Structure 1
Amino acid sequence: MTPPVVTELTTRMAEKARSVGVMWKAGLLPFPRLDEGVRSLVLTNKFGPIAGAVRIAARRNPMDIGLVDERGPLTFSQLDQQSNALARAWSDRGVGPGASVAALCRDHRGLVLTMLAANKLGAALLLMNTGFARPQLTDVAKREKVRVLVYDQEFTDLLGGIDGVDRYLAWVDDEATAGEVTTLDTLIAATDDSAPEAPPKPGGLVLLTSGTTGTPKGAPRPKISGLDSAQFLDRIPLRVGEATYMGAPLFHGTGISQFILSLALGSTVVVRRRFDPEDALRGVAKHRCTSLVLVPTMLQRIIDLGPEVIGKYDTSSLRIVFLAGSALPPDIGNRATEIFGPVIHNLYGSTEVAVATVATPEDWAQAPGTVGRPPVGCRVALYDDKGERITEPNVTGRVFVGSGLAFEGYTDGRNKEIIDGLLASGDVGHFDEDGLLFIDGRDDEMIVSGGENVYPIEVENLLVEHPEILEAGVVGVPDEEFGQRLKAFVVRSADSTLDADGVRAFVKENLARYKVPRDVEFLDALPRNATGKLLRNKLS
């Protein structure tokens, strides 16, 4: 019998070999110049994934466009040189390895240059959520010991509680009211742009949880191996030298992961400070983007533009519509497939576990609503409430994930539950007979009504299939007889005549009786955070 340690070692070696093959296919390990691939891995390990990727691209193709924002294009060489100057300017002001550099910015060059400069200094980069309130931002800055704060002028009033930090403006809306805060442009223009020395070690990246249940927790990524990119490329066919339209914000795991990967591939990244569905189509057409990165609510907004508007733009270059951040309703994914073709790549992960599974267009066609299978280097397993492994299909259990990109604990010292070396995602789900994973809901969102278990996502996914319903949210409310009863919050189309009885009848025709909402309330819009996640605590 083979010892477990040998089996594990063999498995890891096989995964590494497969990862190399995936990277080779994507073009990250160019043949026959394998020395270039090795040099790329060395630079990434030395400077961090963001600065390392730009330095590589600036060396190979300095005049290629690396970033396009509302101010225009920047070549990889310009990104490298300007971030050199910013890193030197901060170094002259005493910012060095291990310092915490926080960014509260929308998506534009100022945020990207901040990321690059922090990497080059070996500083810890903290990406702050633009949707947070003042108390959350204040608490996070204190807990993470922020030394440098880079922000857009529009957020000035949110930062009054943050003291003892060096402040810099990344984006100025009105110079007359900007005050005396130094801008990044000023620092860069006044500083030598030659390459600084590499830091003793990469500073890492700290992402924040959504903060829907209190102060956001910090989930650090101290170091990202070049081979870890294979976890995405294994099931998402990005290739070298293409173009990506980034709809999802860069402060979120969805956006930052695909941004880093696009840079590593030497691809152009198109960003905008605010998402607009028609502008996204315009950007895809203008820059011939092969990948469009969104959260599901963004995709819904694009679809809701209608065929007349969508038809104005040539989106035939799209091979990938990458979705993550919240559940993708089957109806939305199916409608997108009808419009754009077989391009849906539905990722399941979280701030803590990073990537868990990805559904390819073939997976989606086979089973709409699935989040697919684990890519190379990832493991997913289900466990019951007693910690016993669930192996049967169509049995719901708690989802646990193993990934080379997973974090190793929050910055406050806490961690998620771990079983067999796998990290709890906080969700429940099931595998079907073909091994495709489905997420049934959050483990803390289950509603018990009259002794029956109901997960809101099932009812929500059904409701948005109704032709007169744009959005739906379902929660449990107290009930004297049943313990809890379901209440649905519905956003109707502009010309809808649908009433509460019609909503209940639609659910009754398609789901079990105990899943029919007894209460229905119509809203103009559902409360969501900056990444489109439904804020259930705002529904009552």
Structure 2
Amino acid sequence: MLVGKVTETVRSIEVMWRAGLIPFPRVDEGLFALLAMRRIGPFAAAAQVAARRSPDVTGLVDDRGSLTFKQLEQQSNALARALQSRGVTTGTVIAALCRDHRGLVLTMSAAGKLGARLVLLNTGFGRTQLADVVRRENATVLIYDQEFAELLADVSGQVERYAAWVDNRRALGRIPVLDELIASTDDRPVPSPERRGGFVLLTSGTTGTPKGAPRDHTSLMSSVQFLDRIPLRSGECTYLGAPLFHATGVSQFILSYALGCKVVLRRRFDPEATLRGVHEHRCTALVLVPTMLQRIVDLGPRILSRYDTSSLRIIFVAGSALSPDLGNRATAAFGDVIHNLYGSTEVAVATVATPEDWRKAPGTVGRPPVGCTVALYDAEGKRITEPGVTGRVFVGSALSFHGYTDGRNKELIDGLLSTGDVGHFDEDGLLFIDGRDDEMIVSGGENVFPIEVENLLEARPDVVEAAVIGVPDPEFGQRLKAFVVPAAGSRLDADTVREYVRSNLARYKVPREVAFLARLPRNATGKVLRNRLA
């Protein structure tokens, strides 16, 4: 046990050194980063480390222009002091409802410097969801973009409000604006808080009010779970398409900042603007959720060829399932750069598929990086070790959470946390996700996972996307129903869909019903809202 721990630590240090997170031989810089992480948390520490190493280098580009790492550090100091003068202190809970821009970045850093707890709210929330989460998380400060003002109607009037992005200053009335607070406040360094504040990510909430997954124990060593299989490097450039409130976006933002990389943000995702940003800034990494990648690839060769994306070494995809068809199309368009991460809000990283893994086995989510353990268990809790046998997926790592903010937790076996998914390993040890445990249906006594049918349908050139769910059936207990978004000009009909599935899969996997939609309902991070389909 001890030998294994030492080996893992040595390997972790090697990974961080290779990425440039520990700039050998400047071990003191590595120690500074480690101490900063412990004192003020990952957001503020990453920005502080970058400002110390490369003060005059551009650290952020957003819709309003660019800021150096030094400017970001100074402005977050000023914001922290301004909030502190208004009563924000160690333990205060700040909720942020913002799109991706400097206001959110500065809020994240300022909260860390004050020891405040930051709750990152989903910009796709409805009024009721928003009010429920703000109340449950005990937030007393809400920082928001003006466009979301109407969503705050059900939030208690006792919650102090601050505007991070302003469209019409006059309409805000007496609501304080972050830019004005920063401009009018001293930007000297802020004394360390009594204790670290931490932050809270929220689950997708596709089945109700999102649950809070706190991140109170992040450390510099945890970064190896990404860097071991995703070759981010110091001083490069990351285009962040995935939203910062989501685990995918925020993890890569922290890592990129800690590595001194320039980060390019846009408030709203646009596929062609993303290509333009990669081209203009010579980005080496592009961070997306699968629906964003699909919108980019769907632009087609004529538009894709307008932009030089040869600088990309990494297209980092996470947040929902990457279908074999989409991954293959993206590889054909951009080369061997697809890195497909599997994880969840609760477990963080589980596995990563490198481009080599994908070439070998399209659809795989890869292998666990250093510091992560993945195991499969059957319904009785017995571990599955045979390849090709489907089981429930459990994960262990230093980044796994220790329970939701409402006191509930995910199932634990042997110290490993349930992801809620089912999957199998192939003969080479590569993991495949077969679906959600709660999405499996039993039709006529046969277990069916809808994702297999979805992947098959999405491989058709006349299908843009598809979702398959289980619905009640008086004869078979349950049956499949497919929702298909046909390509423009397609003459696809239900009989063709059923016959196609019948000719490729077992008969009990053929959907009895097929519905055609203009688009699938999705949340802000691209996950299909299956409850709406049902």
TM-score bracket for this pair, using the shorter chain length: over 0.9
The CA deviation at 1:424 is 0.5
Instruction: Deviation per CA, 1:76-128: give whole Å up to 9, x if none.
Output: 01110000000001111111111101100000000001000000001111000
Q: TM-score, normalised by structure 1?
A: 0.98
The CA deviation at 1:51 is 0.8
Aligned-partner residue type, residue 402 of structure 1: G
Match among 81, 88, 93 for residue 81 of structure 2:
88
- Residue 371 of structure 1 pairs with residue 353 of structure 2: no
Which residue does 2:415 correspond to in 1?
Answer: 421
- Residue 12 of structure 1 pairs with residue 1 of structure 2: no
State the alpha-carbon separation in 1 of the partners of residues 32 and 146 from structure 2. Answer: 39
Aligned-partner residue type, residue 44 of structure 1: M
Match among 101, 106, 125 for residue 108 of structure 1:
101
Equivalent runs, 1:285-364 vs 2, <5 Å: 285-364=279-358
Which residue does 1:498 correspond to in 2?
Answer: 492
Which residue does 2:145 correspond to in 1?
Answer: 152
Structure 1: which 4+ aligned runs deviate by more than 4 Å? none
State the alpha-carbon separation in 1 of the partners of residues 3 and 381 from structure 2. Answer: 27
Equivalent runs, 1:155-194 vs 2, <5 Å: 155-163=148-156, 164-194=158-188
Aligned-partner residue type, residue 143 of structure 2: V
State the alpha-carbon separation in 1 of the partners of residues 313 and 451 from structure 2. Answer: 28
- Residue 71 of structure 1 pairs with residue 64 of structure 2: yes
Match among 216, 224, 227 for residue 218 of structure 2:
224
Aligned-partner residue type, residue 249 of structure 1: P
Match among 384, 397, 405 for residue 403 of structure 1:
397
Aligned-partner residue type, residue 170 of structure 1: A
Q: Provide structure 2 residue ranges, at least 5 long, that are not aligned to the other structure.
A: none
State the alpha-carbon separation in 1 of the partners of residues 217 and 77 from structure 2. Answer: 21
Which residue does 1:3 correspond to in 2?
Answer: none
Secondary structure in 2 matching 1:286: helix
Aligned-partner residue type, residue 46 of structure 1: R
State the alpha-carbon separation in 1 of the partners of residues 470 and 324 from structure 2. Answer: 23
Secondary structure in 2 matching 1:146: coil
Match among 276, 282, 293 for residue 276 of structure 2:
282
Which residue does 2:471 correspond to in 1?
Answer: 477
Aligned-partner residue type, residue 464 of structure 2: L
Instruction: Deviation per CA, 1:402-459: give whole Å up to 9, x if none.
Output: 0111101111111111110000111000000110000000000001111111111110
Q: Percent identity?
A: 70
Which residue does 2:240 correspond to in 1?
Answer: 246
Aligned-partner residue type, residue 274 of structure 1: R
Match among 124, 129, 133 for residue 136 of structure 1:
129
State the alpha-carbon separation in 2 of the partners of residues 177 and 524 from structure 1. Answer: 36
Instruction: Deviation per CA, 1:223-264: give whole Å up to 9, x if none.
Output: 211010011000000000000001100000000000000001
The CA deviation at 1:368 is 0.3
Instruction: Deviation per CA, 1:317-359: give whole Å up to 9, x if none.
Output: 0000001000000000001001100001000000000000000
Which residue does 1:489 correspond to in 2?
Answer: 483
Instruction: Deviation per CA, 1:197-230: give whole Å up to 9, x if none.
Output: 0112221110001111111111000121101001
Aligned-partner residue type, residue 32 of structure 1: P
Match among 98, 117, 138 for residue 91 of structure 2:
98
The CA deviation at 1:314 is 0.2
Contact 1:102–1:146 at 8 Å: present in 2 too? yes
Give aligned pairs, total. 533
State the alpha-carbon separation in 2 of the partners of residues 200 and 392 from structure 1. Answer: 50
The CA deviation at 1:59 is 1.2
Which residue does 1:24 correspond to in 2?
Answer: 17
- Residue 118 of structure 1 pairs with residue 111 of structure 2: yes
State the alpha-carbon separation in 1 of the partners of residues 51 and 479 from structure 2. Answer: 58
Instruction: Deviation per CA, 1:143-190: give whole Å up to 9, x if none.
Output: 111021000011111111112111100001122322221100111011
Q: TM-score, normalised by structure 2?
A: 0.99
State the alpha-carbon separation in 2 of the partners of residues 480 and 28 from structure 1. Answer: 59
- Residue 537 of structure 1 pairs with residue 525 of structure 2: no
The CA deviation at 1:483 is 1.1
State the alpha-carbon separation in 1 of the partners of residues 435 and 173 from structure 2. Answer: 47
Which residue does 1:45 correspond to in 2?
Answer: 38
State the alpha-carbon separation in 1 of the partners of residues 476 and 41 from structure 2. Answer: 54
Secondary structure in 1 matching 2:373: strand
Which residue does 2:441 correspond to in 1?
Answer: 447
State the alpha-carbon separation in 2 of the partners of residues 178 and 499 from structure 1. Answer: 51
State the alpha-carbon separation in 1 of the partners of residues 337 and 459 from structure 2. Answer: 20
Secondary structure in 1 matching 2:154: coil
State the alpha-carbon separation in 2 of the partners of residues 126 and 13 from structure 1. Answer: 35
